[in-house]
Amino acid sequence: MSKLSIAALWIAVMVTGAAAQSYPSRPITMVVPFAAGGPVDTVARILSEPMRASLGQSIIVENTTGAAGSIAVGRVARAAADGYTLSIGHWSTHVVNGAIYTLQYDLLRDFEPIALLPSNPMIVVSKNGVPAKDLAELIAWLKANEGRVSVGTAGAGSGSHIAGVYFQRAVGARFQFVPYRGTAPALQDLVAGQIDLIVDQASNSVQHVRDGKIRGYAVTAARRLASAPNIPTVDEGGLPGLHMGIWYGLWAPKGTPKDIIVKLNGAVMRALADGGVRQRFGELGLEIPPVEQQTPEALGALQKAEIEKWWPLIKAANIKGE
What does the binding site for ligand MLT look like in residue numbers (CB under 6 A)? 34-35, 38-41, 92, 154, 158-160, 182-184, 201
- State in angstroms the smallest separation of the CB of 164 from ligand MLT: 9
**Facing residues of 86 across strands?**
30
DSSP code of 246? E
Which CB atom, from 126 or from 201, has the smaller least distance to ligand MLT? Answer: 201
- State in angstroms the smallest separation of the CB of 37 from ligand MLT: 8
Which CB atom, from 94 or from 263, has the smaller least distance to ligand MLT? Answer: 94
CA distances for 203 relative to 41, 141, 149, 231, 245, angstroms: 11, 26, 23, 14, 11
Cα(134)–Cα(207) distance, integer angstroms? 18
Which CB atom, from 24 or from 185, has the smaller least distance to ligand MLT? Answer: 185
- State in angstroms the smallest separation of the CB of 257 from ligand MLT: 29
Q: How many CB atoms lie within 10 A of CB 62?
A: 15
- State in angstroms the smallest separation of the CB of 132 from ligand MLT: 22
Question: Could you tell me the maximum CA-CA distance found in the chain, to the nearest angstrom?
Answer: 79
Cα(163)–Cα(151) distance, integer angstroms? 11
- State in angstroms the smallest separation of the CB of 34 from ligand MLT: 3
Q: Which residues contact 256 (CB under 8 A, 6 or more apart)?
A: 81, 82, 83, 112
**Facing residues of 251 across strands?**
87, 113
Element containing residue 179 per DSSP (H, E)? strand 176-179
Element containing residue 122 per DSSP (H, E)? strand 111-127
Which CB atom, from 62 or from 236, has the smaller least distance to ligand MLT? Answer: 62
- State in angstroms the smallest separation of the CB of 65 from ligand MLT: 9
Which CB atom, from 120 or from 256, has the smaller least distance to ligand MLT? Answer: 120
Which CB atom, from 41 or from 110, has the smaller least distance to ligand MLT? Answer: 41
Element containing residue 250 per DSSP (H, E)? strand 245-253
- State in angstroms the smallest separation of the CB of 33 from ligand MLT: 7
Q: Are 159 and 132 in contact (CB under 8 A)?
A: no
Which CB atom, from 57 or from 311, has the smaller least distance to ligand MLT? Answer: 311
